[in-house]
Structure 1
Amino acid sequence: MTVEVQQSIGRAASVLTALAESKTGPLRASDIVRATGLGASTVARLLSSLEELGYVSKIADTQSYGIGAAILALASHGLNQNPLHRESRAAAQELAQRIGLSVNVGVRDGSSLIYLCHFEGAKAPKSHTMVGFRQPLHASALGKCLLIDMTEDERHAILGEDPLPRYTANTITTHEQLTAELAQIAILGTSTEDQELALGRFCIAAPIRTAVGDVAAAISISGRLSLIRGVDLDEVREDLIEVADRISVALGLISAVPH
C-alpha cells in the first residue's frame, strides 16, 4: 500500500469519525473541516466519494451529512462474525428481561473497553444503544474484570502512570488502589463500580473466559442507584456469575481456572 493510499484512507476515516462522534447529529461540510483539520476541498471530495459508496448520507433538504447505511451493514456483519457477541447475546438479553436492569457485554480494545452487547430491562429504558461505545478500564466494572489477568507492568503499559484519569470523587486514580481492588475481584468473582464513572449509577460485572481460561470479555448489570437499592445484590451477583459461566462454557471453557 502506497503512502498516498494510506493518507487517503486516513482522511476518509477521520471524516467518518467526526460524523460518528458528533454530539449534535448530522454535520455540514464546514463542521467536518473544523473537526478534522482537513482542507475544504479535500473534505468535499471525500464526502462525495463516501456518499457514492453509501458510507455517508446527505440529509434531504439540508447541506448536512450523517453516517450511511453501508456503515450500519458493516457493523452488523462485524458483530455477527464475532463469537463473543454470538454466544453472549441471547444470555445477556434474557438476563436484562429477568432483572429489569441494563445488561452489557464488553471487550478490551487497547486502553479502553468497547461494548459488544447492550440490552435494557423494563426498569432501565434508554433512547440510544451502547453498542460500540467506549469506557475507561480503570473506572468501570466491566473494565476492571478485563484487567484481572494482567500483571501490574502490563496495566502500567496500557493505562499509563499515576494519576489515572478521574471522573468522579470515587474514581480510582492510582495503580496501588487498582491492584488492591483487582485482587479482591479475583477472589469474589465480580467487580463493582459505585459512582466511579458517573454519579448516581452502580454496576456489577463478572468475567467471561475462553476455552483456555483467559478473560475474553465481561458482562455487567447496571442501573440508577434508586433502582439498585430495590434489588438483592447478593442474588444479582450470583445470577451474573452463573450467566458469565454459561457464556464461558459456550466458548469452550470446561475446566476450573486457578487464581
Structure 2
Amino acid sequence: MTAASGKVASPRAAGEKPGGENQSVARALAILDLLAGQPEPLGVREIARRLRLAPSIAQRLIKTLANAGYLEQTDATLRYMIGYKAFHVGSSFVGQSSLHSAVMPELYVLAEQEISGFLGVRRDRSVVYLATVQSAGPVAVNHRPGAQTYLHSTAMGKALLAELSDDEVRMLLAHKPLPKLTERTKVALPQLIAELATVRRLGYATSDQENRQGFFSVGAVVRDVSGAAIAVISGAVPTAGLKQPDRTRIAQLVLSAARNASRKLGAPAARVTAAR
C-alpha cells in the first residue's frame, strides 16, 4: 500500500525488471550473445565475470541452457560453447528468408572467382553477417553467421551507410570515437562522409586494408521490391599481388552479384541499375 494514495501497489512478478523485461531471460540471452561472439569456449566463472553475475546464478542459467541444447560443454575443458539448438534457431531465420535464396547463388559465383563472399545486414551501429562462402584462395577470410563488424571500416558497412543521409550518418556514428583498426581506417566523420558521396555515385563501397591488414573488399547493397536497401553483399581478397585492374574487376563482380540478387527480389529496374 502506498502512503500517498492508500492504494495497494501491484506486486512485480518475480524476476521482472522495470518495463516488463524478465531478468532471468535477459541474463540467459546475454550468455548466448557472449558465447556466440567467442572463438573459444568459456568456463562458468569467466562467463559470470564478463557479465557481472554471481557464479551461482550463472551456473543455474548455463545448466538450463545446456539441458535444452542451446549450450554444449566441451569434453576436454568442461567449458561451454553455443549448442546445436541455438544454431537451429538461427538457421530457421535464414532459411525462411527469400533474401538468403536470392543471394547465396551469387556468393558461390564470387567464390568461384576466388573472392570470399558475404551477406550482411545493418543492426543499429553494426553489420551482422548472415552468410559466408569461402573462396578456394590460399588465404581464408571467414566470418561466422551472427558475428558483428564495424560500419565505418568495412565495405559492407560503408555501402549501407551510403543509403542514409549525411545527417543520419552523423547521428548514428557521432556518439563515440570510431575505432582505428589499421593505419588506413578512416576515423574522422567528415572524411568518411566525403567517401560516402563517392559510394553513392559508384554504387559500391571499398575497404582497402581499413578493417583488416592485408585484405581488400567491395560491398554493394541488395534491394527489395520497394527499392529499399535490405542487405549488403561483399567480396574480399588478399591484397598481396593485387593490381588496380584486379580491384576494378572485383568491384564489378560484387556489384553484378548485388544487382542479380536485387532482380530476384523484384527490385525496380531503375534502382537496380542506377547509382545514387
Question: Partner of 2:7 in structure 1?
Answer: none
In 1, Cα distance between the equivalents of 2:13 and 2:266?
Answer: 41
Kindly state the Cα deviation for residue 12 of structure 1 after the two structures are TM-superposed.
Answer: 0.7
SS at match of 1:228: coil
Secondary structure of residue in 2 paired with 1:10: helix
TM-score w.r.t. the length of structure 2 is 0.85
Asked if 1:242 corresponds to 2:242, the answer is: no
1:39 equivalent among 36, 44, 54 = 54
Q: Which amino acid aligns with 1:213?
A: G
Q: Which residue of 2 aligns with 1:158?
A: 172
Letter in 1 for 2:15: E
Cα pair distance change 1:21/1:239, threshold 3 Å: closer
Is this contact kept in 1: 2:160–2:232, CA < 8 A?
Answer: yes
Q: Which stretch shifts more, 199-208 or 124-133?
A: 124-133
The secondary structure found in structure 2 opposite 1:187 is: helix
Residue 3 of structure 2 corresponds to none
SS in 1 for 2:240: helix
- The residue that corresponds to 2:198 in the other structure is 184
Secondary structure at the residue paired with 1:135? strand
Q: Following the alignment from structure 1 to structure 2, what is the Cα–Cα distance between the partners of residues 232 and 160?
A: 34
Which residue number corresponds to residue 120 of structure 2? 106
Q: Distance in 1 between matches of 2:246 and 2:141?
A: 27
Percent identity reads 30
Query: Larger deviation: 11-20 or 121-130?
Result: 121-130
The AA in structure 2 aligned to 1:235 is R
* 1:16 counterpart (32, 44, 47): 32
Aligned partners of 1:102 and 1:124 also within 8 Å: no
Aligned equivalent of 2:149, options 120, 125, 135: 135
Distance of aligned partners of 1:62 and 1:194 in 2 relative to their CA distance in 1, 3 Å threshold? closer
Q: After superposition, what is the alpha-carbon deviation per residue over 1:77-119, rounded to whole angstroms, capped at 9, x for unaligned?
A: 111122322210111112211x112111111111010111211
Alpha carbons 1:96, 1:103 under 8 Å: kept: yes
Please give the residue correspondences for 1:49-128 in structure 2 after superposition, counting only pairs within 5 Å: 49-60=64-75, 62-97=77-112, 99-124=113-138, 126=140
Change (3 A) 1:143 1:62: closer
Q: Distance in 1 between matches of 2:141 and 2:118?
A: 15
Aligned residues: 257
User: Contact 1:162–1:175 at 8 Å: present in 2 too?
Assistant: no
Q: Distance in 2 between matches of 1:161 and 1:174?
A: 13
Q: Is the 8 A contact 2:94 2:130 kept in 1?
A: yes
- Are 1:4 and 2:43 matched, yes or no? no
Shift of 1:124: 4.6
Q: Secondary structure at the match of 1:226?
A: coil
Displacement of 1:8 in angstroms is 0.6
Per the normalisation by structure 1, the TM-score is: 0.90
Alignment RMSD, CA only?
A: 2.2
What is the identity, as a one-letter code, of the residue corresponding to 1:117?
A
Local SS of the residue matching 1:213 = coil
> Residues 21 and 241 (structure 1 numbering): CA distance in 2 closer, same or farther, change over 3 Å?
closer
Following superposition, the deviation at residue 163 of structure 1 comes to 4.2
Task: Give unmatched runs, 5+ long, in structure 1.
Answer: none
Q: Displacement of 1:235 after TM fit?
A: 2.5
Q: Which residue of 2 aligns with 1:147?
A: 161
Query: Match of 2:36, as an amino acid?
Result: A
Change in 2 beyond 3 A, CA 1:86/1:93: same
